[in-house]
Amino acid sequence: MNIAGSVAVVTGAARGIGLAIARWLAAGGAKVVLGDVLAEDVERAAAAIRDAGGEAIAVAADVTRDDDVARLMDAAVERFGAIHVVCANAGIARDGLLLERDAATGKIARVLATEDFRAVVEVNLVGSFLTFREAARRMADNGWQGVLIVISSVNRCGPPGQLNYASTKAAVALWPKLLAGELHWCGIRGIRVVGIAPGYTGTDALRSVDPPALESLLRDVPLGRLVAPEEIASAVAHVIENEAIHGTTLEVTGGATYGPWQRAK
């Protein structure tokens, strides 16, 4: 499959990994539709791609809303005539422990708020589901071949304090195997499903972490540094071009999956 001439929809594309993916695909000749709830930011991102010579439009969309996701996909079809690549990248984190004790009394002083658990599930899990569903139905009905890519995370392995986030990322890591089987069972050919699981990536959010905390985090990364957003984008491009990659989740983690237990003493 060629990137050049394809139509790609990327959610969470206003910044971070999503923006890096959109830029990389546009530079490779794809026509890119950038979706994000941050309306002004995503418009600026699309304009920057156009200024660099690429083809891109922005759509303000909340991936937790059925109508917004349908409108995002319809915008791709109306503007560029097809959908070939979909990257469900939109995600949020609201970290917190299930239970926290009061140091003085030993009693439970705080719990993970229900609204924080639900918000992460809505964006990361329901949002990815709607993105895949609305893209896949249009691709299948029109015979457009391509690939659905969901962004998981190295944190699907389950770090403390991320019960909500890790649960959603573990779930979507299963989707490629499950949906590859469903599509095959339904007789739908030519639509692949792949997951990408980034490691600790050098987005603005992570780079803003206090240097001592970041240094501590990187001690468990054999690569010795943050993964660059462009390295995730490069992996997405490889998945698009290699049609044998299907029904699996690829790790781009710098070795972080191996965890602190292997740290040299």
Residues 151 and 93 sit within 8 Å (Cβ to Cβ): no
Architecture of domain 7-253: 3-Layer(aba) Sandwich (3.40)
pLDDT tier for residue 257 given thresholds of 50, 70 and 90:
low
Q: For residues 245, 136, 116 and 261, what is the CA-based torsion angle, rounded to 10 degrees?
A: -10
Q: In the chain, pLDDT over 90 holds for what percent of residues? A: 78
Q: For residues 71, 201, 234 and 130, what is the CA-based torsion angle, rounded to 10 degrees?
A: -20
Domain residue spans in the chain?
7-253
Which strand (E) or helix (H) includes residue 151? strand 146-151
What are the catalytic residues?
A: 165
> How much is the pLDDT for 123?
97
pLDDT tier for residue 258 given thresholds of 50, 70 and 90:
low
> In angstroms, rounded to a whole number, what is the distance separating the alpha carbons of residues 92 and 124?
7
Lowest mean pLDDT among 19-23, 51-55, 156-160: 156-160
| Span 104-130, average pLDDT | 96
pTM of the model as a whole? 0.92
In terms of phi and psi (left: phi > 0; alpha: psi -120 to 50; beta: otherwise), the region of 190 is left
pLDDT in tens, 136-163: 999 999 999 999 999 998 877 777 778 9
pLDDT in tens, 241-253: 999 999 999 999 8
